[in-house]
């Protein structure tokens, strides 16, 4: 989730895929060791698209959990437009909740620092949604409930595209020609690199 934020936030920030593509199942790897999972599922229901993301990170030392990070969110979109988000983060027993609702005049957001009014085009940062990258729309964090200040770089690949982001979050992501998310890595506060591997 990088040098200016805690590692778990970067992992979560998570975290809509193009219609017709399947769910994601990732193992979260650090220094060659699995420290958690990140699963994303998509469901169509009555004209709505529901995205559910569950990110569970529990690194261990000698078999003992030394950190617990549990982030769950549900995002709803209608006709391809962001409609709402509910997010709950348990970081070592401290609960943080974010609720966002899109309306005619903008996005109303309630998070740990109170209520905010964001532009109507604002959407949550979701790593599986490359159409939101590049600064084309205002982004907010799903665990902080705050607008994000990110710088994006897009690099064509022979079979897809690579995105890099800097600023509050420093990450590298890759997508294939169909737009499917295929790779992710991010730098943690301690300088180690966290990598997603397909589960």
- Check residue 127 and give its pLDDT: 96
- Check residue 178 and give its pLDDT: 93
SS3 131: helix
- Check residue 189 and give its pLDDT: 60
Element (H, E) at 41: strand 33-45
Segment 41-99, tens digit of pLDDT? 999 999 999 999 999 999 888 888 888 999 999 999 999 999 999 999 999 999 999 99
- Check residue 8 and give its pLDDT: 38
- Model pTM? 0.85
Distances (CA, A) of 35 to 3, 4, 61, 88, 199: 19, 21, 10, 20, 13
Q: Which of 108, 82, 112 is nearest to 98 (CA)?
A: 112
Domain boundary assignment for the chain: 7-198
- Which residue numbers in the chain have pLDDT < 70? 1-21, 188-190
Using the Cα atoms of residue 135, residue 137, residue 141 and residue 142 in order, give the sign of their dihedral. negative
Q: Which residues make Cβ contacts (< 8 Å) with residue 46, sequence separation at least 6?
A: none
- Check residue 179 and give its pLDDT: 94
To the nearest 10°, the Cα dihedral for 17, 112, 172, 57? -90
């Amino acid at each position: 989730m990088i040098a200016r934020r805690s590692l778990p936030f970067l992992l979560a920030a998570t975290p809509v895929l193009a219609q017709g593509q399947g769910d994601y199942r990732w193992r979260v790897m650090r220094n060659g060791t699995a420290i958690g999972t990140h699963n994303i599922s998509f469901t169509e229901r009555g004209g709505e698209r529901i995205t559910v993301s569950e990110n569970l990170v529990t690194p261990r030392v000698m078999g003992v959990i030394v950190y617990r990070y549990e982030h769950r969110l549900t995002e709803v979109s209608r006709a391809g437009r962001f409609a709402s988000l509910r997010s709950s983060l348990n970081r070592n027993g401290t609960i943080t909740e974010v609720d966002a609702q899109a309306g005619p005049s903008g996005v109303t957001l309630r998070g740990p620092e109170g209520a905010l009014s964001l532009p109507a085009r604002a959407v949550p940062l979701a790593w599986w949604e490359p159409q939101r990258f590049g600064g084309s729309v205002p982004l907010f964090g799903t665990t902080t409930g705050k607008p994000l200040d990110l710088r994006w770089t897009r690099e064509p690949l022979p079979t897809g595209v690579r995105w890099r982001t800097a600023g509050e979050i420093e990450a590298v992501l890759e997508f294939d020609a169909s737009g499917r998310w295929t790779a992710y890595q991010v730098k943690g506060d301690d300088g180690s690199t966290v990598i997603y591997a397909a589960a």
